[in-house]
Structure 1
């Protein structure tokens, strides 16, 4: 069962001394060549017809394997929910040779099954929007009872609303919620959970005590595994916005943590500061299945390693963990790799004999996964088994020869330390089910650890009279606590408290987690001692436990721990307070301490601790010049006065108090508590104040007064100006701040640098439409003699929606600027681009000016800007005829914009010219047939007939596209990646304008830093030729229809409670107030136009593909 996915925490401390992995060995199967480290073997153990497209699996106690099996359908999720085309099969190895030879359909008619857990006689299967409990009550091998165990309530376009479930060692059931649909859960006696974030949820098997373990902005958390101490780890996609090759991750899940990505779904979540870090970044891997290797069959070096399936990278990776403060680091090594682009591992699990099973789902999956436009349901999957050559055979690995039904608690307790993981786990489960009957025996097991601790402390002998004191292994004692955790009642809680004094730190950690999970107030004194004296992992878990228990007496101890941890961090001479705030290990510990304060909710106690270290303004003054010093003494207690050696650590105490008061409901934090720190010389307090202020738009008046004083200063250093811009930008929706910006921007007596800063703030303001208060000063700025001022004003007008009224109020000054002979050409272009969308005539001079920017020698962004302006203007017939002459030479990006100029025109001569030049235009492949068709029709029947030829060519079906791709892939010359880089960065393709490679390039489209590791040459060719064939997750086009009937297309970049932003091209974004949006629907056309290949010759195309393939 998946309960065995765990690893001993302190057994990993020497793993960094491991040698490098051995040379690899190859194993060949039809269509596959696999590589594994030397000394391993691999065999095919299941496939069609037993199982066709395996997704996830789990074992029952008999060793039978329950596998979710896809039908190969890529229909939209709502259709799959209606038709339920998938199934769950049970595989059995009847002759014991390790290969499955029997299959039965355990359950058919399933919605997309995204998780399998065998627990207590039933299969739990997530099939969005629900998790189902599926049972075979009569033993015929076919399920006859289905119960909706969890109602997830949402089903989104990628069906990633649910993954799992997974059984924790505590006996609770865990699962992941992905996508960003809002879910609401009422919880009697507990706060309601209602948000759109991703989560790891858990509850007891009867679905009681439902709660969130972690939350975040990641798209798709999938698999969860546990350490014996109860530490959860999970895989996820899109942990961060793609950049510099980073995207997906494996995460050590910290209780109460909020993780990236940063976007609107995080609003309202309880935070302790910055978002928490991952265990390891994986790039565009699409990690899914995850397992902890519990056995020693692979060798001691492999015990307690993690293994992850990476769908996109066609491999299983090994993760060697080492403690790092209160969290871990990971050393990642490829374990199993396939050369077949259709190998997609989705799950990995450990069999009882120590072998690993790897599930390959095959080539069918296409939903939200742009591996290729063509799904391949005919490329079926398989199950493979990996063994260590020469590994000793484990007798009766599942304990099937044990008379389980006859075993009493005393017998079962003897199995808690068994060398066979499956036996240990079954003993834990059975002891938990026997309930109160097991408590006495389990208490005797954990007492052995406490006695060992006492013996070690006193030097006493380990026997009394004639009788030797029973000795249970650390493994047995940990597992005894997990069994006790599953049992209700004061006796079980009391027994767990005994384990808090165990001689082994990992056993104590299990007890700490158990006490916290069960909110055992009786354990508070021991937890406080653990917080004071424990290892970092023990301290972190003790803090979490104290927070869950909610005893206000823990507040001073939590603050003392903050100071001690900060002092320890600052003892490193290379560590400064500013660096410590962002140190990953410190941040994890700090989070747990602050989150405990938030959960306890004692705002008066927190305020008292804040006052002990001095009033905010006084402490800031005392801190000047001391922030970089390292404490020289650890002897001062946390309750003493702020001595010089303690000052840096005490700033972290103050930081913790400010954040806790901010996040506690009714905490009473005020602007006067925080604002002085925005101008502090202390980086810790400044960063803390900036974070707090960023979500307090209700402090507008106080903020306005504060910023007014700072902005009035005649000269500010560049660093402070940048800081002010960031801080002001977070409050531009506040009316008081809007008024302040307007007043100081219009006032020519304000320092010039301040006015420039304010214009930059206005241009980036996340507002629904331009505030009325900003309009008069912008008019003044457009007429200002300072070039930088009117340039800034143009940028603001271009960036912010003007709303439905007064849309033409800036037309006159913008046109005046565009005709100003003294103005630089690029400013004239920006002024024209800032004109409203309303079509208006263009004078000859302006028309010629814009046409000149269509020249291929011009920078790509300038070409696109000019094309956009021309496309929305009201041109006369002569201008249209001249513009048509430019169409054959422009690229697809410009052509798609210029077509708009011909909308609603009726002159047949113009229409004939338009159609004629389009037939020979290089960028015609980037044109949309649905846009061209009504344009042709307006010109009359003759033009329409001529245009049909273009439409037929653009509407080439999928088969024709695939044929063309094949012809090009097979017929291209050998590519040169160095030349390909130049093509990528050239004016012809403008790829780098929108795509990032490493740290260079635009961020409109997907990050391509590691694209070659997840896409074949054919995939890359398809993406170049037919960018609308498939879309990368988080870059899907959206169509926005406003309430006045206008439609806009682009990639959704920001989504908040009151506004959204879409990007329609490089430097082209639009913000919409949610109140003005009538409909949001998935788009069908990429913002990357087709036809880029028409700009290139065969060698350049080959070079471009070679360059992209080299990006790994």
Structure 2
């Protein structure tokens, strides 16, 4: 066996007295001489030591232990690659680290598995390592004990990824004996051994399977960006970390992942997932931190009160936090406490795990990663990572923490069950597996232990049985043994027993579980409902329906009850149960649960009459449920139109505003409802009703206007009331054709209207007409060149950049490029990327070269415009790009000078600059309740971004995009090129958030191409528009936002 040895000449122990000083690195054979562990701060009474550094690891990310104490570390090569590049080069590996002398510092390593794409986690089980390395879930086995895997098997495939780490993570071994893993938002297509597709979806999901790769199941899923790690409570609940559960503002969260749960934020996943109402919500929100690794603390070595606390890593802010869980209804409340931090901006913790002695290992990956990472604007692979051990001072040593001195094979069944209550958590976990391996022989002993063991012993007996009930030959006997656990005095035991029975392949009597729907503990009730659904016990439907009427019902318990009905997939049984209710009429909670289930069951054939109760209800939640369901049933058009007419005519529109808007939006492209909308646009209708109709039209995207809309909209466009005009103009922007061109032209020419309104009329006119008349062009030029309003001039530049101008018109406006200010220049050049005309290209290059503001543009902003120009223009084009490259190098040098002066910034002055017309920061970013939500919300940005990171993001805004704020370039069928963020999507439409704050709804049939852009919508050059002092002040202000 070839092993790599590292000799630690100096033990690196940092003792924390509230604040740690930087460690002096000990020399390591083969270690880069300049490797310096970062300063790490932990609470007083704790210590930090370097457990592994180079060469044992270079860029470690995630890790797990085997039963012998070997540490399997996903070690990255320090490269940022796309999925295609990763599969071509296979640059990454898994190292197996060994602590030869038990002093807590790893001494040697083998490369357990090389030539991997991007391994992210692992779980050791029965002699094999189970690893998520996209696009596959792998089983890696070392059959000859040399520390190198010689057996590799793909268990599950295929999962999408793009190289930015938002893909599959894991695996994680569940207490029920199944393997679990998470998957980021890149879709999957899983096939069985015969090549048949068993699951194909676009969303983000959490999966499980048997250790042999069989019986792949989806646990839950949704539209979140990147679920990372999960762990399980003793009662069987799964909690985990996830990035971008919500957006605008971004929220990274801790989630209680429920069976069958549908989670935010992309609503288009609702077409591929069974939802029980609104998206489920998180247990705790961290803000924007790039949450990563997580572990449940199972021992008491660090603090006796910390048992079952969670430890979680924050990549962005370089922290590890401790989370205390409290039962809250059927889920959890969470209290967050900072545990570990570092002032070093290059400290990026990616995982935390508990060693068998109760110490914690924290993994720092170093400075290499930047794909989608806002705190790492540039890859710095030379900044290596390490693994750090956290101990409590004077922490008692644990004898044989992994039970290696136990003769496991010689233990009697009684002795094995006694080890289920061992003080060493690693021994307890191994005892569960060893007991399960005894099969039939252990059953009698488990029965006795369940009746007289400690609560911890009893719950672990349940998890042993949870594995046995999945074996056909043992399921009936093991299920029978679980029956007494359902009435155990301990809540955790009862809940775990429900979860175990849910996995049984035979022998479960429905009557065992039904009484637990009325248990005193909400978590037990929730899990009993889940079990009934997983077991498909349709005879329990009346009891599920009855349980929905509980006054204290919370959303997780409600979800479990409704999802159980969906899983049973018996519409007739649901209708029979409704008719059999003692009252003869369902309560609103019962009605909501029943109609949601009927709507979600394939072939449920829900009828409009069955949602009448909700549509007519005074209860807002019931009305919303009914309206949401109606959206999925276009066959209800006529009766819904009649209802809308009655509500509008009878004056009920005020109390039912949200329901009416939702239903109108669904059917507005149908002639019957379009005509109805036209009736209520007429001048004699109440202004509030007209506003409601116009708002629905404005939100409808690219609609063909109904004839009945034309006259009332034209009338409102001619109003002297500017607010009335704006309402009508918003609707016009969503309509196809140029039916309103004359009215818009009159507004643009009428100096009685305010200049901003006239500019918006020109914007609407150019969008409606497709092309731009010479008269309209001159009006825009007049506003741009002569306006005393910088805002109006900027808007005119945006319109010119987005308009479809002819080659002659582009040449005509080219001189504007010579004098345009940096912000307007960026808008104006956009119009030149659609042309291949030589003369236009020549005029563009000549004019742009004369503008000193050229250097405010990034090289890629110009190269994107000129990449399709004729070959004869390559000479002047490359000269422009060379100037930009040289300027980029100068900015890099200036960046270091500015870093040295960051302490000079003043936050109070920076707030003034941030909100000024000069900086325009608040025109895109929100702080508190001020500013627009175009870019990321900055309300707490200082809490998770270092000052240097903030400075870099201003100087080089496109170096790394914040996830979920990825820019796109969209080419429309009518020739427009639009740039912005995709704010939301449905199957039919896409909402584009443009840099000017304007949102535009586009129908997919009107889109020719969607291309990811390398250019951030945050403009480059802000650092040069501001003085050095102003820039430092802005950074100081952002740093103060915590």
Pairing 1:914-933 to 2, within 5 Å after superposition: 914-915=847-848, 917-919=850-852, 928-930=861-863, 933=866
Contact 2:317–2:946 (CA<8 Å) still a contact in 1?
no
Pairing 1:530-679 to 2, within 5 Å after superposition: 530-564=516-550, 566=551, 568=552, 586-611=554-579, 639-640=582-583, 650-675=587-612, 677-679=614-616
Could you give the per-residue CA deviations for residues 945-975 of structure 1, whole angstroms, max 9, x where no partner exists? 7776543222348644422322333357821
Shift of 1:424: 1.1
Structure-2 change in CA distance of 1:523 and 1:349 (3 Å): farther
Structure-2 change in CA distance of 1:845 and 1:388 (3 Å): closer
Partners of 2:845 and 2:602 in 1: CA distance: 68
Partners of 2:697 and 2:430 in 1: CA distance: 63
Contact 1:697–1:734 (CA<8 Å) still a contact in 2?
no
SS in structure 1 at match of 2:937: coil
Partners of 1:964 and 1:497 in 2: CA distance: 71
- Correspondence for 2:779: 846
- Correspondence for 1:8: none
Structure-2 change in CA distance of 1:783 and 1:280 (3 Å): closer
Structure-2 change in CA distance of 1:186 and 1:1080 (3 Å): farther
Partners of 1:926 and 1:106 in 2: CA distance: 43
- Correspondence for 1:93: 99
Structure 1 residue corresponding to 2:419, chosen from 415, 422, 446: 415
- Correspondence for 1:701: 638
Shift of 1:294: 0.7
SS in structure 2 at match of 1:261: coil
Contact 2:814–2:844 (CA<8 Å) still a contact in 1?
no
Contact 1:88–1:105 (CA<8 Å) still a contact in 2?
yes
Contact 1:86–1:109 (CA<8 Å) still a contact in 2?
yes
Could you give the per-residue CA deviations for residues 238-258 of structure 1, whole angstroms, max 9, x where no partner exists? 011132xx5100111111111
- The answer to whether 1:80 aligns with 2:86 is yes
- Correspondence for 1:495: 481
- Correspondence for 1:977: 907
- The answer to whether 1:1028 aligns with 2:961 is no
- Correspondence for 1:328: 332
Contact 2:17–2:45 (CA<8 Å) still a contact in 1?
no
- Correspondence for 1:989: 919
SS in structure 2 at match of 1:26: coil
Contact 1:216–1:258 (CA<8 Å) still a contact in 2?
yes
Shift of 1:1046: 6.0
- Correspondence for 2:141: 135
- Correspondence for 1:690: 627
- The answer to whether 1:340 aligns with 2:275 is no
SS in structure 2 at match of 1:212: strand
Pairing 1:776-855 to 2, within 5 Å after superposition: 776=710, 780-781=714-715, 787=721, 790-800=725-735, 802=736, 807-834=737-764, 835-836=766-767, 837-842=770-775, 846-847=779-780, 849-851=782-784, 855=788
- The answer to whether 1:241 aligns with 2:247 is yes
- The answer to whether 1:477 aligns with 2:458 is yes
Shift of 1:751: 3.5
Structure-2 change in CA distance of 1:344 and 1:735 (3 Å): farther
- Correspondence for 2:28: none
Partners of 1:676 and 1:416 in 2: CA distance: 53
Partners of 1:1049 and 1:877 in 2: CA distance: 19
Partners of 1:484 and 1:912 in 2: CA distance: 75
- Correspondence for 1:627: none
- Correspondence for 2:689: 754
Shift of 1:333: 0.2
- The answer to whether 1:221 aligns with 2:227 is yes
Pairing 1:232-631 to 2, within 5 Å after superposition: 232-243=238-249, 247-446=251-450, 448=451, 471-487=452-468, 488=471, 489=474, 490-518=476-504, 522-564=508-550, 566=551, 568=552, 586-611=554-579
Shift of 1:169: 0.8
Partners of 2:570 and 2:673 in 1: CA distance: 33
Partners of 1:699 and 1:1105 in 2: CA distance: 55
Structure-2 change in CA distance of 1:77 and 1:964 (3 Å): farther
Contact 1:1012–1:1108 (CA<8 Å) still a contact in 2?
yes
SS in structure 2 at match of 1:1040: strand
Partners of 1:512 and 1:1104 in 2: CA distance: 55
Please identify, of 54-63 and 387-396, the stretch whose mean Cα deviation from structure 2 is larger.
Answer: 387-396
Shift of 1:56: 1.2
Structure-2 change in CA distance of 1:782 and 1:951 (3 Å): farther
Partners of 1:81 and 1:909 in 2: CA distance: 42
- Correspondence for 1:468: none
Shift of 1:259: 1.2
Partners of 2:491 and 2:128 in 1: CA distance: 35
Contact 1:984–1:991 (CA<8 Å) still a contact in 2?
yes
Shift of 1:360: 1.0
Structure-2 change in CA distance of 1:412 and 1:304 (3 Å): same
- Correspondence for 1:24: 18
Please identify, of 699-708 and 252-261, the stretch whose mean Cα deviation from structure 2 is larger.
Answer: 699-708
SS in structure 2 at match of 1:37: coil
Structure-2 change in CA distance of 1:216 and 1:911 (3 Å): closer
Shift of 1:1041: 4.2
Partners of 1:480 and 1:909 in 2: CA distance: 79
Contact 1:1062–1:1071 (CA<8 Å) still a contact in 2?
yes
Shift of 1:1022: 2.3
Structure-2 change in CA distance of 1:768 and 1:443 (3 Å): farther
- Correspondence for 1:169: 175
Contact 1:273–1:659 (CA<8 Å) still a contact in 2?
yes
Partners of 2:903 and 2:41 in 1: CA distance: 30
Structure 1 residue corresponding to 2:676, chosen from 736, 740, 744: 740
Shift of 1:350: 0.9
Contact 2:855–2:884 (CA<8 Å) still a contact in 1?
no
Shift of 1:653: 1.9
SS in structure 1 at match of 2:399: coil
SS in structure 1 at match of 2:139: strand
Contact 2:726–2:757 (CA<8 Å) still a contact in 1?
yes
Q: Runs of 5+ in structure 1 lacking a partner? A: 1-21, 449-470, 570-585, 614-638
Partners of 1:781 and 1:921 in 2: CA distance: 45
- Correspondence for 1:467: none
Structure-2 change in CA distance of 1:817 and 1:768 (3 Å): closer
- Correspondence for 1:763: 698
Please identify, of 99-108 and 822-831, the stretch whose mean Cα deviation from structure 2 is larger.
Answer: 822-831
- The answer to whether 1:711 aligns with 2:648 is yes
Contact 1:892–1:1091 (CA<8 Å) still a contact in 2?
no
Structure-2 change in CA distance of 1:820 and 1:863 (3 Å): closer
Partners of 1:538 and 1:912 in 2: CA distance: 71
Partners of 1:49 and 1:404 in 2: CA distance: 35
Structure-2 change in CA distance of 1:864 and 1:277 (3 Å): farther
Pairing 1:945-964 to 2, within 5 Å after superposition: 950-956=880-886, 959-964=889-894
The normalised TM-score by structure 2 is 0.90
Please identify, of 416-425 and 522-531, the stretch whose mean Cα deviation from structure 2 is larger.
Answer: 522-531
Structure-2 change in CA distance of 1:922 and 1:543 (3 Å): same
Shift of 1:518: 2.1
Report the count of equivalent residues. Answer: 1005
Shift of 1:828: 2.1
Shift of 1:316: 0.8
- Correspondence for 1:1011: 941
Partners of 1:37 and 1:748 in 2: CA distance: 69
Please identify, of 125-134 and 408-417, the stretch whose mean Cα deviation from structure 2 is larger.
Answer: 408-417
